[in-house]
Amino acid sequence: ETTLTQSPAFMSATPGDKVNISCKASQDIDDDMNWYQQKPGEAAIFIIQEATTLVPGIPPRFSGSGYGTDFTLTINNIESEDAAYYFCLQHDNFPLTFGGGTKVEIK
């Protein structure tokens, strides 16, 4: 089983900041990493597929990087509407596993 270690668990940012969220895999998963945004009571939104591909309709201030075991979700010029819970998902092998999540607060 691939364990995903996501950090930080919580972060507070100011509008305009650049934010990085890390997801480290316990084994090589190529580029089989995905990122989601979720707000309370709402369905999760798919924002990055296969490590680096921005899902259509997602603002370009979101970007993903990484390969193998180390992955990063970056939010440039963060906006107040980006306050949410972010999590990663690997689909390289069974069982599918998720990172522990990051709550992003906007000051």
Partner 1 sequence: QVQLQESGPGLVKPSETLSLTCAVSGYSISSGYYWGWIRQPPGKGLEWIGSIYHSGSTYYNPSLKSRVTISVDTSKNQFSLKLSSVTAADTAVYYCARGGVLSPLVWFDPWGQGTLVTVSS
Site membership for partner 1, residue 107 (CB under 8 A) = no
Q: Which of 57, 80, 94, 107 binds partner 1 (CB under 8 A)?
A: 94
- Three-class DSSP category at 35: strand
Q: Which of 14, 42, 60, 107 binds partner 1 (CB under 8 A)?
A: 42
Q: Which of 2, 23, 34, 78 binds partner 1 (CB under 8 A)?
A: 34
Site membership for partner 1, residue 67 (CB under 8 A) = no
Q: Which residues contact 64 (CB under 8 A, 6 or more apart)?
A: 33, 35, 48, 51, 52, 53, 54, 71, 72, 73, 74
Query: If binding means CB under 8 A, how many residues of this protein chain bind partner 1?
Result: 23
The amino acid sitting at 21 is I
CB 97 within 8 A of CB 6: no
What sign results for the dihedral spanned by CA atoms 82, 47, 27, 70?
A: negative
Q: Which of 20, 76, 100, 105 binds partner 1 (CB under 8 A)?
A: 100
The amino acid sitting at 4 is L
Nearer to partner 1, 78 or 87 (CB): 87
Q: Which residues bind partner 1 (CB under 8 A)?
A: 32, 34, 36, 41-44, 46, 49, 55, 87, 89, 91-101
